[in-house]
Amino acid sequence: MLPRSIPRISRVWAPTGGIAVPGVEDAHSKLVRAGFLRQSHAGIFHMLPLGKRVQDKVERLVAKHMEESLAASRVSLSSISSEALWERSGRLQNIAPELFRFPDRKGGAYLLSPTHEEEITNLVAQTVRSYKDLPLRLYQITRKFRDEMRPRHGLLRGREFTMKDLYTFDTDLSSALDTYEQVRAAYSRIFNEMKLPVLAAKASSGDMGGDLSHEYHLPSPYGEDSVITCGSCDYTVNEEIAAAKVEHETCQAEHVGVWRAITKDRSTLVNVWYPTRTSNASTGEVRQYTNSDLNIYAIKSLVPDLDAGVSDATDIWTAATEGPDATAKRLVNLFDGRLPPSLSDSLGDTASLPMWPNSVQTGTSTLDVQRHESSTGEREPLNFLRIRAGDGCPQCSSGTLNVHKAMELGHTFHLGTRYSDPLSAKVSLPTGVSGTPKIASMQMGCHGIGISRVIGAVAEHLADDKGLNWPVAIAPYTCIVVFPEGSYDDAVEVYKRILSIAGDQDDRVDIILDDRQKSLPWKLKDADLIGVPVIVVLGREWRMTRRVEVQCRRLNVKDIVDVHNLPSVVADLHSRL
């Protein structure tokens, strides 16, 4: 019998295998088959012991940097918030469809928090009164809830998820921006410790508010977002706010397409005119475009109320023009900057360029042609096409852009007084020369990392056909000793030898023995599925020469190692993973 103090996988509930492998197995399916999690309901998951170990390690890593790098204090806010507080901040109606809402027995209106800006601001407003109490940095790691319409991709888009929030409070804008940069540096250290190639992309603040934010993305073909980077400068932005130089590309009048959309209130039909074929005068390159190449974000920047989910806008808009309760009022034409300048004059003159769909009665609306004007009064060429690799960088003169599919892991926001104003989070400032007390709203920031998303994204990023692969920093176990029946004492000897140099103080060394009553080939296959970074095998070489086989799939290592050298070999592999 092995001593109870030595970690053994037989003492861990790890229901691996036993689930049929689909034809194409994604990383989420591997997480299920490897015994990390099970689905409870749509978009809601139970974490099993292996998954909980990974989650705990991600949480400890994030918490370490919150406290050591930023001197943040940890809190735990309630998952229940009141609708009245969200009404005060002005956010309730904007995100109401995504909220889990419920009344208590007295009829009070509550919700399960998808985020905690309102609650933390209200808490600080009731507690902090003076500038002497700032800066203040508070963080938590809690469960959040969002009623996703279509939960998908397992942990990447669920209805219940674990998240780290950091909320920062400063006296003035300058100190708040300094704090923001300190948080960005801490985020870089967190992802570097996991050895993840994360891109920090400038992004839209959306419903959160504020005018400065960055997203932290892990490049992946399975990602739902696109990040644009320049090969020559530091231009890194989310596609939502990305720009590209519209130059040297021209379009002939016969290569013009139109995409029609409608606003959510059904009052406006939007025609987006774009080139279906362009040629570049400098390079001679010819490009083809279709509706699928349109950049919806760029269109929404001009028509924020656009209902981009409608597949046939003309039928809906036609219905909105009929009857006494007709809501349709106007038509908006948006022109891509690559189109011939005379295009707007020719609209409606030919059957090939119909300004109005055939089903629409033109007399019911008024025409409104929109263009952007730059600050100098000159027209900016609008760009309604999604950026492609090779487009010109808007920030430098020589760079070209790259497009990366990516999964978002975190987001930082400078909020300013977006929440402190409506929720009265104010502090007294030093008295001026006149002696008159000064009161100012706190400058806020909020900074999140999706703990659940990190697990799902890393699994997707590193998985291969044999199973999962974990960075040492968050692996459920960093090393597993695999051995046949009858070799328990030998396994303990190897276990102790690995620890003899690394020592119990090295967090990277987290060893477990596979003492299950299974064959050696089965154990090796299972270790690959679980994704343990380093596998130490007591096989034929051990019996013959007292040497072990060390395997590391990610680094393509499979070496025979003398047991005396084993600790340094394992330590070296850990440092590289």
Rounded to an integer, what distance in angstroms lies between the CA atom of residue 529 and that of residue 469?
Answer: 8
Rounded to an integer, what distance in angstroms lies between the CA atom of residue 223 and that of residue 456?
Answer: 11
Q: What is the pLDDT at residue 374? A: 35
| Strand 479-482 versus strand 511-514 pairing type | parallel
Select from 225, 238, 219 the least CA-distant residue to 457: 219
Q: DSSP states of 543-555 as a string?
A: HHHSEEEEEETTT
CB 535 within 8 A of CB 527: yes
Select from 308, 306, 302, 314 the least CA-distant residue to 370: 302
Q: What is the pLDDT at residue 431? A: 73
Q: What is the pLDDT at residue 325? A: 64
The per-residue b/e assignment along 509-541, b for 16 or more CB within 10 angstroms, e otherwise, is: bbbbbbbbebebeebbbbbbbbbbbbbbbbbee
Rounded to an integer, what distance in angstroms lies between the CA atom of residue 454 and that of residue 213?
Answer: 19
CA angle 498, 533, 470 (to 5 degrees): 140
CB 81 within 8 A of CB 478: no
Element (H, E) at 276: none
Select from 245, 280, 246, 276 the least CA-distant residue to 259: 276
Q: What is the pLDDT at residue 150? A: 85
Q: Residue 398 gets which letter from DSSP?
A: S
* pTM for this prediction: 0.86
The contacts of residue 127 (CB under 8 Å, 6+ apart) are: none
Q: What is the pLDDT at residue 344? A: 62
* Tokens representing residue 396 in the block: 């430098």
The per-residue b/e assignment along 67-77, b for 16 or more CB within 10 angstroms, e otherwise, is: eeebebeeeeb
Taken in order 403, 404, 407, 410, is the CA torsion positive or negative?
negative
CA angle 254, 289, 249 (to 5 degrees): 70
CB 16 within 8 A of CB 34: yes
Rg value, the chain, Cα: 29
Element (H, E) at 574: helix 566-576
Residues of the chain with pLDDT under 70: 1-4, 18-23, 206-210, 246-248, 311, 317-318, 320-329, 342-380, 432-435, 501-508
Estimate to the nearest angstrom the gap between the alpha carbon of 65 and the chain centroid. Answer: 19
Amino acid residing at 274: Y
Select from 408, 445, 406, 450 the least CA-distant residue to 181: 445
Rounded to an integer, what distance in angstroms lies between the CA atom of residue 151 and that of residue 155?
Answer: 9
Q: What is the pLDDT at residue 321? A: 65
Q: Residue 79 gets which letter from DSSP?
A: S
Domain 30-81+113-236+403-457 has CATH 3.30.930.10: yes
Q: What is the pLDDT at residue 377? A: 43
Rounded to an integer, what distance in angstroms lies between the CA atom of residue 295 and that of residue 239?
Answer: 9
Q: How many CA atoms lie within 13 A of 391 on its CB side?
A: 22
CB 183 within 8 A of CB 168: yes
Rounded to an integer, what distance in angstroms lies between the CA atom of residue 173 and that of residue 231?
Answer: 32
Question: What are the extents of the domains in the chain?
Answer: 30-81+113-236+403-457, 249-386, 477-576
| In this structure, CATH architecture of domain 477-576 | 3-Layer(aba) Sandwich (3.40)
